[in-house]
Amino acid sequence: MESLPGFRDFEPSTCAQRNALFHGWRTVAQRFGFEEFDGPIAEPLELFTQKSGEEIVNQLFAFEDKGGRKMALRPEMTPSLVRIFGKNLATLKKPTKLFNITEQFRYERPQKGRLRSFYQFNADIVGEASLSAEAELIALAAESLRYFGLTEEHFYVRLSDRQLWQLWLKAFGITDEALVGGILSLLDKWERRPKEDIEKDLAKLLPSSVQAKTFFDATEQLRHCKTLEAIKACFSQQATDAELSEALRQRLSEFGKLLHELSALGCEKFVAVDLTIVRGLAYYTGFVFELFETGNQGRALAGGGRYDQLFEKLTRHPMPAVGFAAGDVTLTDLLNKYHLLPEYKRKIDVFCVFEETERDRALRCSQMLRRENFSVLYPFGETKMLSKQLKKAYVEQPRYILIFTQELSSRGKVHVKCLANETTREVGSEEVVEVFRRERD
RNA sequence: GUGGUUGUAGCUCAAUUGGUCAGAGCAUCGGAUUGUGGUUCCGAGGGUUGCCGGUUCGAGUCCGGUCUACCACCCCA
């Protein structure tokens, strides 16, 4: 029987790779002082529909329990985070820096870089309105990739700002919230669809005062801006009133500060201003970013941004927050591509082989060594010839082989073979543990 | 959810136009080797060719359906 579509089996070698990812993520998050938390793997369905709307249900593993409760496997961690920490926001330390490594589930068609069950590294800063939070999260995202040996040759951060986009639309007189959302979602698929289709959709959305063609060309120009100066120049081509100019000046100043802080954090090599990133869902309120392989092959390695209104929406209490998530599927693909995931090999310290009469003695010794934190194997079942046992022992490549024979026991000795230098020592039976303790140091 | 490609042993792959085609290597287990050394040699197990149906004297091979995987859409929290 096979696993369900989009679900994976983790045999020892792939499980070890997965755990290596988890270890790296956890290590780096702790370096930044983020605290690990976790929540239930399933939540009330309502938690997800409140945040994302009813349409989300057909993308969820949603079902009813035997008590008729509507529930769903978690497709992301942010709603749980808001639920858990929204309970006592008033007493929450600010800022609170949180991370977790969770299995998540989305009912979608599996394809490259996307499965139905996957793991994500989530990091969030709650209770910090300043851009220092964005800077630190982007730095954390970059460091979590650097940890595995990836450099600016392999990946980069595309940094954008939904507030700039709102200002841009405002310059065209577009302020209606639903309309802004519609155009932002159009921006999200801008380069994946033919120009004519985009213009057609724009013509339907835009107020009659704005020509689709004009808007498209100007927006196309803004999308390609690589610097803040270019963005400023782009805006200045539009007729903007004093209020808008001042708002733009302030926002560009914030953007500049963020870039500056990222430089101080040693991330200038990784970060590119890139307004083509807007991110699909509407709850992002400010800076947004996505990490990609250089050349933009494949899906995003990580993505996130500021969501200052989500707490209020779900708990009625306002609370600024920024977060990102990085998935294991795209990262594993990338690391495999550059051979940055080591081959897994079980590490055994000691393999015991013994003559039939010495079995109990060998097992006693094995257990003493295990209690001293050494990994120890010995053959199971019917005792075979020493030569056969040794064959098995060598396959495991232990650091040492312990040999127990009747003849050695009669003299109170065992043999300790060191595979590294092919030497054999004769050691007193009672000293074995002490000898290994010394070896360890 | 829509379209395209695909499927042979645990893994990687063979099998002429439909006709001894169900095979090899790796891996696993056993023996050679009745007591201190891996690499050698020999052998064994393991597949209703994804599943269901159809065409045919005969299907791994052709046709239809279905499922999986992959790719492109939709979506991407």
What's the CA–C1' distance between A351 and B61, in Å? 51
Q: For A286-301, how does the pLDDT look when each residue is reduced to its tens digit (9 = 90+)?
A: 999 999 999 888 899 9
Closest alpha carbon to C1' of B37, residue: A390
Nucleotide nearest to A197 (CA to C1'): B73
H-state helical runs in A317-405: 328-337, 359-371, 386-396
- Quickly give A111 CA vs B72 C1' distance in Å: 10
Chain position carrying tokens 């360890």 = A440
Residue nearest to nucleotide B70 (CA to C1'): A111
Distance A391 CA to B40 C1' (A): 14
* Radius of gyration of the CA atoms of chain A, in A: 29
How high is the pLDDT of residue A314?
Answer: 92
Task: Give one DSSP letter per residue of A294-327, joined into a string.
Answer: TT--SS-SEEEEE-TTHHHHHHSS---EEEEEEE
In sequence order, which residues have a C-beta less than 8 Å from that of residue A190 and are 6 or more positions away?
A198, A223, A276
Here the tokens at position A36 are: 């690990």
Q: Is the pLDDT of residue A239 over 80?
A: no
Q: What is the pLDDT of residue A240?
A: 77
At residue A188, the pLDDT reads 86
Lowest mean pLDDT among A79-88, A183-192, A309-318: A183-192
What nucleotide is nearest A300 when CA is compared to C1'?
Answer: B76
User: Per-residue pLDDT averaged across A46-66, rounded?
Assistant: 91
CA A302 – CA A142 distance, rounded (Å): 10
What's the Å distance between residue A380 CA and nucleotide B45 C1'? 21
Task: Check pLDDT > 80 for residue A428.
Answer: yes
Question: Average pLDDT for residues A394-401, to the nearest whole number?
Answer: 91
A2 CA from B17 C1′ (Å): 36
Q: For residue range A339-376, list pLDDT tens digits in order.
A: 898 888 888 999 999 998 999 999 999 999 999 999 99
Mean pLDDT of A216-227: 94
Digit-coded pLDDT (tens) for A277-289 = 988 777 899 999 9
Is the pLDDT reported for residue A99 higher than 90? Answer: yes
Q: Place A102 in a pLDDT band, splitting at 50, 70 and 90.
A: very high
Give the DSSP letter of residue A32: T
pLDDT mean over A243-247 = 95
What are A11's two structure tokens?
Answer: 């045999």
Lowest mean pLDDT: which of A94-98, A264-268, A417-421? A417-421
pLDDT in the model for residue A385 = 87
Instruction: Find the Å distance, CA of residue A112 to C1' of nucleotide B12.
Output: 22
For A90, residues 6+ apart whose C-beta sits below 8 A from its C-beta are A317
User: What is the pLDDT, as a whole number, of residue A439?
Assistant: 80
Q: Which domains does chain A carry? A: 12-337 (3.30.930.10), 350-440 (3.40.50.800)
Q: Which nucleotide is nearest to A381 (CA to C1')?
A: B29
Structural contact between residues A41 and A69, judged by C-beta atoms closer than 8 angstroms:
no
Give yes or no for a contact between A263 and A307, defined as CB atoms under 8 angstroms apart.
Answer: no
- A246: tokens are 């001042």
List protein-proximal bases of chain B (any atom < 7 A from a CB): 1-2, 28, 31, 33-39, 67-77
Contact A265, A175 (CB under 8 A): no
Complex ipTM = 0.88
